[in-house]
């Protein structure tokens, strides 16, 4: 579905991604893992067209995304739920959802879409008129994902959805992510700090260190690999 092929990215003179390659297969959850500063967010921003690699290509459903505007990439079916949620704090839940729909062609179907995301995240329906800043951390993350779903993505990019949440909220959130994948058929590229947790829900994983892919494989293989056990799981 998504082919990242040898991308290199720099901020000014500082290169942070070095010839990075991996694929996301239709229907899967792929975990993109690695320590702080490894280049995970940079990878997601490159996919959605917020950053331009200076070499390499990114293809989605066979189409080269190079030079495409973010707005058009969203229309093709990719949505990014950014690190730190980035909600509009003083807008209501409903208004935040509407902000996620602006790339949808025409205005039609928006009410149906809102209904659909309320079915996925029922807690949001009860808080429809409430300002986003008054939601709990877990509810805010649900809203950020729900907003990302408003553009009807085929591929959802999630950047550290669990950050700042209690273990119970994280568990609920990950159940919701699995439902999105299994019931709604949405392919997911999941960036996570919690490697054990991510590999529990993901089909496969890619490990990035210092802007380079150092390991990739089925989640089961990764959990058993020496690198993951020693460096990430501490066992």
Ligand X SMILES: Nc1ncnc2c1ncn2[C@@H]1O[C@H](COP(=O)(O)OP(=O)(O)OP(=O)(O)O)[C@@H](O)[C@H]1O
Binding site for ligand X (CB under 6 A): 11, 14, 16, 34, 36-42, 83
Of 23 and 83, the one with the shorter C-beta distance to Mg ion is 83
Residue 36 binds which of Mg ion, ligand X, none (CB < 5-8 A, kind-dependent): ligand X
Parallel, antiparallel, or unpaired: how do β-strands 212-218 and 204-209 relate?
A: antiparallel
Residue 141 binds which of ligand X, Mg ion, none (CB < 5-8 A, kind-dependent): none
Of 10 and 125, the one with the shorter C-beta distance to ligand X is 10
Q: Which of 7, 37, 2, 33 is nearest to 19 (CA)?
A: 7
Instruction: Name residues contacting Mg ion, limited to 83-122 (CB under 5 A).
Output: 83
d(CA 113, CA 52): 31
Residue 16 binds which of Mg ion, ligand X, none (CB < 5-8 A, kind-dependent): ligand X
41, 43, 79, 162: which one binds Mg ion (CB under 5 A): 41
CB of 4 to ligand X, least distance (A): 14
CB of 32 to ligand X, least distance (A): 9
Parallel, antiparallel, or unpaired: how do β-strands 63-64 and 55-60 relate?
A: antiparallel
Residues 6+ apart with CB under 8 A from 173: 138, 141, 142, 161, 162, 165
Q: Give the E-state strand segments of 44-132 in sequence order.
A: 55-60, 63-64, 78-81
CB of 161 to ligand X, least distance (A): 12
Of 42 and 140, the one with the shorter C-beta distance to ligand X is 42
Would you state the structure tokens that stand for residue 11, as one six-digit string? Answer: 């901020």
Would you state the structure tokens that stand for residue 143, as one six-digit string? Answer: 């809203």
* Contact residues for Mg ion, defined by CB under 5 A: 40-41, 83
């Amino acid at each position: 579905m998504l082919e990242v092929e040898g991308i290199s990215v720099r901020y000014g003179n500082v290169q942070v991604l070095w010839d990075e390659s991996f694929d996301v297969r239709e229907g899967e959850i792929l975990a993109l893992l690695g320590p702080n500063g490894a280049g995970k967010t940079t990878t997601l921003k490159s996919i959605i067209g917020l950053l331009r690699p200076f070499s390499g290509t990114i293809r989605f459903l066979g189409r080269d995304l190079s030079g495409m505007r973010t707005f058009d990439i969203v229309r093709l079916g990719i949505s990014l739920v950014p690190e730190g949620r980035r909600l509009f704090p003083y807008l209501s839940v409903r208004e935040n959802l509407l902000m996620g729909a602006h790339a949808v062609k025409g205005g039609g179907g928006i009410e149906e879409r809102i209904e659909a995301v309320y079915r996925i995240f029922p807690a949001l329906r009860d808080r429809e008129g409430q300002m986003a800043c008054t939601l709990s951390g877990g509810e805010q993350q649900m809203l950020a994902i729900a907003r990302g779903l408003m553009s009807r993505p085929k591929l959802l990019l999630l950047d550290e959805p669990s950050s700042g949440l209690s273990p119970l909220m994280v568990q609920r959130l990950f159940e919701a992510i699995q439902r999105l994948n299994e019931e709604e058929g949405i392919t997911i590229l999941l960036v996570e700090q919690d490697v054990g947790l991510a590999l529990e829900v993901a089909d496969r994983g890619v490990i990035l260190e210092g802007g380079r892919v150092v390991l990739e494989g089925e989640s089961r293989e990764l959990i058993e690999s020496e690198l993951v056990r020693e460096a990430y799981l501490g066992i």
